[in-house]
Chain A
């Protein structure tokens, strides 16, 4: 418990707001890596996921590649990337690693969203005379949006946690406290920085939870929370027991 208090004390020490190593600066860097990586993941994975979901082609390949990408150890990949690209482009190396981490979740969210649409609904849309593009834009994407955001949500969580590694290749972010504290055995600093990362993760998770809810089409929400008692039910009236 003492360590915990030390960590809190470290966090709220006035020095945390000073100098090049100030906490807000590191949080900003951490979020920067997170959002850039999430954005790149989305740009790669969303169109691909929609293509797979709509055409139902290439799902096996995507699943296999996603599985492989998830199995890659981030720290090892980061080391290799940093060596390949050189210290001047360590930021690119780090973002590549985070993107590799984020793509599988976003990809799964995008195609699961499209595939979650009832095939009969898609068939009806096509039979009405919607083009394939219109089916995707007006039917599959809106109905599948909550699942896509769910994919972005889990990608964001993994990236924000792993962005700690940026400091390992000489970049900023909250990992810098941890990596400098390890050789010095400053456990309060390590724990304090870890707490900030946890807090960021929880905040992002809450943000995406709200987005997910907002993105659920109202008609689909209505189906989930349908008020059964408001509908006429003849059977119930006839079986009502008499109070004799």
Chain B
């Protein structure tokens, strides 16, 4: 579990990115921080691996104050995936994935074997292992980025708009892959995005942020949709628009859902999902 306690961050230029932020992020679940630019969401994320240190307040991982952990060992046990993958351009795919395990003293053979398994996990052909990042597509690079973050088998994965720079089709594909991978590995994922659809798709817990990381609402996607806490949230999630506001119409003994323009969006089923 990751816990923020009254965390604030004021940058040296006087900008206040985060003001008195408190939140619990449950283990083995995906928490999505969503907000427009300037909401401090990336700053929050980067505080977890001490890329940014808070001005005041504490952050605990499983009860341990991370201010007392040296940044380098802390970062090595936290996976980090960022936009544009951040792969090392002069190293092959496999060497990118094995970078941190090798720094941690894993033998070259074991690290390589594990890297090849991770290529399977993220749905990449093992034949790509000896390519350079520049020889891969944007979507493939992101998958390598995820594999690299998983290489040290971290409990926590930080993802900073990882799918922001790929086209919508590839993005949808990567989102589904992440859901599949998460089902398999069950990490504590902290995911930052400005895309509310992505947040609702991936998040077990969604945190909607206003400026200076003030929490507008925290909850499961269903809770937020059912009960937007404010006009800001309702507007941000588009509660009255498109696929979000559906009306039930009874036709031939079944319940059809239609949107505001009267177009059919789907059929209402009873029972639990997955049945």
- Using a CB–CB cutoff of 8 Å, the interface residues on chain A facing chain B are 118, 120-121, 123-131, 134, 138-139, 142-143, 217-220, 222-223, 226, 231
- B49 contact set on A, CB distance < 8 A: 127
- Using CB atoms, name the residue of chain B closest to A134: B103
| B90–A124 touching, CB < 8 Å | no
Query: Is B191 among interface residues, defined by CB-CB distance under 8 A?
Result: no
- Partner pick for B137 among A124, A223, A231, CB 8 A cutoff: A231
Query: Is B86 among interface residues, defined by CB-CB distance under 8 A?
Result: yes
- Using CB atoms, name the residue of chain A closest to B51: A127
Q: Distance in Å from the Cβ of A138 to the closest Cβ of chain B?
A: 8
Secondary structure at chain A's binding surface: helix, strand, loop or mixed?
A: helix
Also in contact, A223 and B89, with CB within 8 A (given A127-B49, A129-B103): yes
Also in contact, A143 and B90, with CB within 8 A (given A127-B82, A128-B100, A130-B103): yes
A and B contact pairs by CB, cutoff 8 A, 8 listed: A121-B88, A121-B89, A129-B77, A219-B134, A220-B89, A222-B135, A223-B89, A231-B137
Query: Is B76 among interface residues, defined by CB-CB distance under 8 A?
Result: yes
Query: Is B22 among interface residues, defined by CB-CB distance under 8 A?
Result: no
Query: Is B91 among interface residues, defined by CB-CB distance under 8 A?
Result: yes
Query: Is B217 among interface residues, defined by CB-CB distance under 8 A?
Result: no
Instruction: State A204–B38 Cα separation when bound (angstroms).
Output: 53
Q: Distance in Å from the Cβ of A171 to the closest Cβ of chain B?
A: 43
- A130 contact set on B, CB distance < 8 A: 72, 99, 103
Name the 10 nearest CB pairs between A and B, nearest first.
Answer: A124-B86, A219-B132, A217-B90, A129-B76, A223-B134, A129-B75, A127-B80, A219-B90, A222-B132, A219-B89
Query: Is B220 among interface residues, defined by CB-CB distance under 8 A?
Result: no
| A124–B87 touching, CB < 8 Å | yes
Query: Is B84 among interface residues, defined by CB-CB distance under 8 A?
Result: yes
| A218–B90 touching, CB < 8 Å | yes
- B133 contact set on A, CB distance < 8 A: 219
- Using CB atoms, name the residue of chain B closest to A118: B89
- B72 contact set on A, CB distance < 8 A: 129-131
Q: Distance in Å from the Cβ of B110 to the closest Cβ of chain A?
A: 18
Also in contact, A128 and B82, with CB within 8 A (given A134-B103, A222-B132): no
Query: Is B92 among interface residues, defined by CB-CB distance under 8 A?
Result: yes
Instruction: State A134–B91 Cα separation when bound (angstroms).
Output: 14
- A118 contact set on B, CB distance < 8 A: 89
Instruction: State A121–B134 Cα separation when bound (angstroms).
Output: 13
- Partner pick for A120 among B75, B84, B132, CB 8 A cutoff: B84
Query: Is B187 among interface residues, defined by CB-CB distance under 8 A?
Result: no
